[in-house]
């Protein structure tokens, strides 16, 4: 009787083990398929962002060259992304050698490159124009104007030149100590 009970138990455990092996194999197949799709989508998206970045960098800097590269691991999902940027008239290709304004404009170019692949109805930019000089503020404002056909931009800034390009401006005032008030001005009404 004990032998028969143990044989029955052994057969149940054997069936469960076989089920686990089948489930493991199914999971491995599913993971392979998901990895294949993820790599394909990543490469497609990366190529789009890279092309957008190269074009937008050229527009922002009115020349020069920039690109994105996958470095390190041959697997694109594990590789690092290197940014190479060379504004017109400069020899460097490392982003570390750029001025703070050039770095900011390069970052904005990259941000908008990603945005072009996956646009949204609104975008909040917090003092991205702080390190930019007047000429670069003009370029930045021009790009915002182009993208504003499809997206509403909320830009937090202290830069008067950026403010002058806005359609609507909101500010926070403190008429009394401890009491804040929101003030909105439509720029076309002021002009």
Is residue 103 left, alpha or beta, with left meaning phi > 0 and alpha meaning psi from -120 to 50?
A: alpha
User: Can you tell me the mean pLDDT for 95-107?
Assistant: 85
Note the pLDDT of residue 7.
Answer: 92
pLDDT digits (tens, 9 = 90+) for 107-140: 999 999 998 898 888 889 898 888 888 888 888 8
Q: What is the distance of C-alpha 62 from the center of its chain?
A: 22
Does residue 183 contact residue 170 with C-beta atoms inside 8 Å? Answer: yes
- pLDDT at position 145 over 70: yes
Own/partner contacts of 165-170, CB < 8 Å, gap of 24 or more, are 165/141
Question: Measuring CA to CA, which residue among 56, 50, 51, 84 is closest to residue 140?
Answer: 56
18 phi and psi, to 5 degrees?
Answer: -60, -40
Is residue 72 left, alpha or beta, with left meaning phi > 0 and alpha meaning psi from -120 to 50?
A: left
Question: Six-digit token pair at 53?
Answer: 């970045």
Instruction: Give kind and range of the element (H or E) at residue 82.
Output: strand 80-86
CA separation for the pair 25, 174 (Å, rounded): 66
Note the pLDDT of residue 40.
Answer: 93
CA separation for the pair 88, 58 (Å, rounded): 9
- pLDDT at position 79 over 80: yes
What 8-state DSSP symbol labels residue 107? H
User: Can you tell me the mean pLDDT for 99-103?
Assistant: 85
Q: What is the distance of C-alpha 138 from the center of its chain?
A: 23
- pLDDT at position 12 over 90: yes
User: Can you tell me the mean pLDDT for 65-73?
Assistant: 90
pLDDT-wise least confident of 25-29, 66-70, 143-147: 143-147
Longest dimension (CA), the chain: 100
């Amino acid at each position: 009787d004990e032998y028969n009970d143990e044989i029955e138990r052994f057969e149940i455990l054997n069936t469960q083990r076989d089920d686990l092996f089948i489930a493991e194999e199914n999971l491995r197949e599913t993971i392979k398929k998901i990895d294949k799709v993820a790599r394909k989508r990543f490469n497609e998206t990366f190529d789009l962002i890279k092309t957008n970045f190269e074009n937008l960098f050229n527009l922002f800097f009115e020349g020069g060259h920039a690109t994105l590269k996958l470095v390190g691991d041959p697997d694109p999902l594990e590789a690092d992304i290197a940014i190479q940027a060379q504004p017109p008239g400069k020899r460097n290709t490392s982003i570390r050698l750029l001025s703070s304004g050039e770095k900011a404009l390069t970052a904005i170019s990259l941000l908008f490159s990603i945005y072009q692949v996956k646009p949204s109805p609104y975008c909040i930019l917090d003092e991205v124009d702080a390190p930019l000089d007047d000429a670069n503020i003009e370029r930045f404002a021009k790009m915002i104007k182009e993208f504003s056909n499809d997206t509403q931009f909320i830009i937090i800034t202290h830069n008067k030149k950026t403010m002058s390009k806005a359609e609507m401006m909101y500010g926070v005032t403190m008429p009394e100590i401890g009491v804040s008030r929101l003030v909105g001005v439509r720029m076309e009404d002021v002009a």
